Amino acid sequence: MNALPRYNYPPPPDPTRRKTVRRRPRRNPHQAIVLENGFKLGVNCLLSVIALSALVKLVPYNLAQQAKLKEIRVEVSEVEGRVDRLQAELNRQFDPQQAMSVMQEESIRVDPRQRQIVWLTPTNSVAQTSPEISPSSPDSGAVQPLQEANAADANAADGRSARPSDPAFYPPIPH
Residue 143: its pLDDT value, please?
44
Summarised one tens digit per residue, pLDDT across range 86-139 is: 999 999 888 888 887 888 888 877 777 777 788 888 877 655 555 554 444 444
> From CA 96, how far away is CA 51, in angstroms rounded?
67
Beta-carbon contacts of 81 under 8 Å, excluding residues fewer than 6 positions away, are none
The mean pLDDT value of the chain amounts to: 76
Is the confidence at residue 61, as pLDDT, over 70?
yes
Q: What is the mean pLDDT of residues 44-63?
A: 96
Residue 6: its pLDDT value, please?
76
Is the confidence at residue 57, as pLDDT, over 50?
yes
**Better-predicted residue by pLDDT, 119 or 84:** 84
**Better-predicted residue by pLDDT, 12 or 171:** 12
Residue 144: its pLDDT value, please?
46
Q: How far apart are the first and last CA of the chain?
A: 131
Residue 98: its pLDDT value, please?
86
> From CA 172, how far away is CA 175, in angstroms rounded?
9
Chain-centre distance of CA 21, in angstroms? 83
Residue 140: its pLDDT value, please?
45
Label residues 22-42 b or e (16+ Cβ within 10 Å = b). eeeeeeeeeeeeeeeeeeeee
Is the confidence at residue 41, as pLDDT, over 90?
yes
Q: What is the mean pLDDT of residues 23-37?
A: 81
- Residues listed for the chain: 175
**Better-predicted residue by pLDDT, 3 or 53:** 53
